[in-house]
Amino acid sequence: MPNPELSILTLNVVVIAIAYSLIYPKFCGADLGKIAKNDLVATGLVLLIAGSVYWGTGEEFSLIFFSVNWFWFAFITYALIEIPIMVWYFKKHNVFDIQELVIGDCEIDSGFGTHSLTFMELDKHSDTLEELGYQGSGYTWEAMVRAVLKSKNIDDGNIDFDPESDMFAAYSESKEALVVVAHIIDQLSTDRTFMSQALTNAEDAEELD
């Protein structure tokens, strides 16, 4: 009969190896949120498999100085094996590095698994918006961005807009979504016809007060 401790340790090593060499690089990258979600799945898989074998058996597992049941042995040893691999992965993929991307007058900051976009140059376009009959606040820019996204059939459900009177900001777990928003703002900033159409669409959609 295989050694129970060795069986669970082998299971842990196999799951961690697959997660950090295949799954996380392909589907998570440096996104801490995605890594955390997938790690919960990986840990749950280990516990599910170990439980299917040792649940109700009364088997005790040695942690050198004391004994525990299958659940705690699987959980603790998984964490101990994973920690150095996790540190290596985080360093390799710069998970905790703050990275900045500039598109036009927009700045996108990425770090700790989240992404934020800020657009501060509202004053540069306030005269144009006033000529078109609108205020140049961040709320107006949100309305225009939403209108353009809607016209392009792009779902904005994964974007949290947080405008203020003197700035526009948005947050998302998807960097790609904010890149799209930044390009829209850049086009709105440089193309008066595009801005006018976006304002009309926003009015029709009752996005503007």
The domain segmentation of the chain, as residue ranges, is 4-92, 99-204
The per-residue pLDDT for 43 is 97
The per-residue pLDDT for 138 is 94
The per-residue pLDDT for 101 is 84
The per-residue pLDDT for 94 is 77
pTM for the whole structure: 0.59
Neighbouring-strand partners of residue 144: none
pLDDT in tens for each of the 209 residues of the chain?
A: 579 999 999 999 999 999 999 999 999 888 888 899 999 999 999 999 999 999 999 999 999 899 999 999 999 999 999 999 999 999 888 777 667 788 999 999 887 667 899 999 999 998 999 999 888 899 999 999 999 999 999 988 899 999 999 999 999 988 889 999 999 999 999 999 999 999 999 998 887 76
Q: How many other CB atoms are found less than 10 A from the CB of residue 118?
A: 16
The per-residue pLDDT for 152 is 92
